[in-house]
Structure formats: C-alpha cells, structure tokens
Amino acid sequence: MATYIVLLGPPGVGKGTQAENLAAQTGLIHISSGDLFRENIKNQTELGRLAKSFMDKGELVPDDVTVAMVKDRLARPDCKAGAILDGFPRTPVQAEALSRLLAGFKGDVNFVPFINADPRVLIERLSDRWICRTQGHIYNIKSNPPRVAGRCDLDGSELYQRDDDKAGTVTNRIKVYAEQTAPLIAYYRGQNKLVEIDGTQPIEKVTDALLSVIRKGQAGMSWSK
Ligand code: ADP
Ligand code: ADP
C-alpha cells in the first residue's frame, strides 16, 4: 500500500522545509503545488500565466486546474510508494477530489500533520525566506541560512525572494488560509487523520515530531528507504 501524507498549515509555518526533510528520510516524493505552479510560470506555459494572476495577489488558483495539475503529478511512476503533499489540498473541494483520486490508485490519505504557529511568527519567517532558483530548496536568513550567502547548499544555484513574500501579499495569504484552508482542520480531524504539531519549535524538532507520528502509524506500510 502506498503512503500519502498531507502537510497542513498556514503559509510560512514550514511545510516545504519539513516535506524536504521527510522526503529525504522516507524516500517518498515531495509534491508542492506551489512549486509546480512556479515551474509552469518559469516555463511560460498557459497554466503558468493563469496561476501567476492569482499568486501575485495571494489568492488561490481555481480548484479545477489545481486538481488536474496535482493529479498528473501523482500519476507519475515515481509516486508509486506514495507522496508527501505540501500546499495541497487547500480547499474542501480539493480535499474531496484528492480522496477520489487516491481511491483510484487504491490508496487514501494516511496522515495529516497540522503544523501551526501564530501569524506574527509566519510573517517574520516569510520575510526572511530565500528560495533556490533551480529546485526551490528553502532557506531563511535567520533560522536556516545557506553556507555561502546567496547560493543554494545543495545545487549552488542563486537564491531569490518570492514576489508573493512581500508584506501586503503575505497578509492576504494568511487571510485566504483562514477562510478557505482552515476548514480542512475539522475535515481531517473528523476522519481521525489529524495530528497537531507545534510549528514554533526549531526545524529539527518539528522533523523529529513528524517522523515519530509517521513511525507510529507505519505498521503495514511500505517505504522505499
Ligand atoms: P511553508 O512551506 O509552510 O510556506 P517554508 O518551509 O517555506 O514554509 O518555511 C518558511 C520559512 O521559515 C523558510 O524561510 C524556512 O527556512 C523557515 N522555517 C521553516 N521552519 C522553521 C522553524 N521550525 N523554525 C524557524 N524557521 C523555520
Ligand atoms: P506557501 O509555501 O507560502 O504556503 P505555496 O508555494 O504553497 O505558498 O503557494 C504559493 C501560491 O500558489 C498560493 O498563494 C496560491 O496562489 C498558489 N497555490 C499553491 N497551492 C495551491 C492550491 N492547492 N490551490 C490553489 N492555489 C494554490
């Protein structure tokens, strides 16, 4: 049986950072809907142009195109053992679509770690976030700086700050999260899948907490590592 983990939490809480760590530890594939959109923007696709018009305002990209994009990614052979979903689902419609999609692969969402922190913490983290140009590796000038300023430790590419990490857009993203994504907390709690994790802890502590959740529920699941 494949394992599917949904990382839930507000913008800037550390979903991408933790998904990278968990992927390295478990061998599961990290799927970030935000990264998939940014790839489309970089490649100047039709989807990229559409997504950019929403992302620049801190609004959500419409459910239908988002679901179709994630569906394509999940159907690729490297996701056979499962995936760590970061930033998807973000609405109840997306959550229902994911459930149907995984049922088609004879799978289900296994765990939903809900990582949380106050808006004040989120705003500070996002204003200090730097991302690598080629693969989206995540840094923070205060809490997780690169070894060489402005360069990715892993692939040497240039680091940049995302346009939507500007203060005004961040405030709107947190509002959109509260209105459209936070209902998923109750949705997954009702399915007994939600596990709350304190996102204010240092990065390694959050990773340890996530790994212990996964190990506890791991019996009978397969991992490639
Ligand atoms: P998300 O994917 O939820 O938006 P990121 O993983 O991109 O969040 O993290 C946002 C910023 O906060 C990044 O600069 C990252 O390096 C930093 N960060 C992530 N987790 C922590 C943590 N536990 N403590 C301090 N900084 C963190
Ligand atoms: P963060 O890491 O700060 O949470 P993401 O990289 O996940 O941000 O998302 C950046 C932007 O991409 C979002 O503000 C939204 O416009 C768009 N986006 C990403 N995932 C989704 C999704 N599941 N549904 C709709 N829009 C999305």
Which residues are paired to 6 by β-bridges?
85
Number of domains composing the chain: 1
Label residue 221 by pLDDT band (50, 70, 90).
Answer: very low
- Sign, CA dihedral 193-196-201-205, equals negative
Per-residue pLDDT, 1: 82
Q: What is the mean pLDDT of residues 184-200?
A: 97
16 lines ligand 1 (CB under 6 A): yes
Percent of the chain clearing pLDDT 90 (strictly above):
92
pLDDT for 218 beyond 90: no
Looking at the domain assignment, is residue 23 inside a domain? yes
Q: How far is the CA of 221 from the centre of ligand 1 (A)?
A: 28
Cβ of 87 below 6 Å from ligand 2: yes
Look at residue 70 and tell me if it is in a domain.
Answer: yes
Could you tell which of 41, 60, 71 is best to mutate to test the pocket of ligand 2, judged by most ligand atoms within 8 Å of the CB?
A: 60
The answer to whether the CB of 21 is under 6 A from ligand 1 is no
Burial letters 45-67, b for 16+ CB under 10 A, else e: eebbebbbebbeebebbebebbb
pLDDT score of 135 more than 80: yes
With a 6 Å cutoff on the Cβ, whether 173 touches ligand 2 is: yes
Distance separating alpha carbons of residues 87 and 34, to the nearest angstrom: 7
Terminal Cα distance for the chain, rounded: 15
194: helix, coil or strand? Answer: strand
Per-residue pLDDT, averaged over 59-75, amounts to: 98
Match 């019996």 to its residue by tokens.
Answer: 219
pTM for the whole thing? 0.96
Task: Tell me, in angstroms, the distance from the centre of ligand 1 to residue 100's CA.
Answer: 30
CATH code: domain of residue 90 = 3.40.50.300
Please tell me the residue having the least CA distance from ligand 2 atom 12.
34
Which numbered atom of ligand 1 lies nearest the CA of 17? 6
Q: Is residue 163 part of a domain?
A: no
Catalytic residues: 15, 90, 129, 162, 173
Residue 224 has pLDDT above 70, yes or no: no
Q: Is the CB of residue 52 below 6 angstroms from any atom belonging to ligand 2?
A: no
- Please indicate whether residue 177, judged by its CB atom, sits closer than 6 Å to ligand 2: no
Q: Residue type at 7?
A: L
pLDDT at 16 over 50: yes
The pLDDT assigned to 31 comes to 98
Beta-carbon contacts of residue 135 (< 8 Å; ≥ 6 apart)? 152, 154, 155, 157
The more confident residue out of 68 and 1 is: 68
Residue 145 resides in a domain:
no
Tell me which residue range forms the domain holding 92. 3-117+172-218
How many C-alpha atoms does 12 have within 13 Å on its Cβ side? 28
Residue type, 98: L
The mean per-residue pLDDT over the stretch 72-96 comes to 97
* Choice between 205 and 219, residue whose per-residue pLDDT is larger: 205
Q: Is 63 part of a structural domain of the chain? A: yes
Q: Measured from the CA of 129, which atom of ligand 1 is nearest?
A: 14
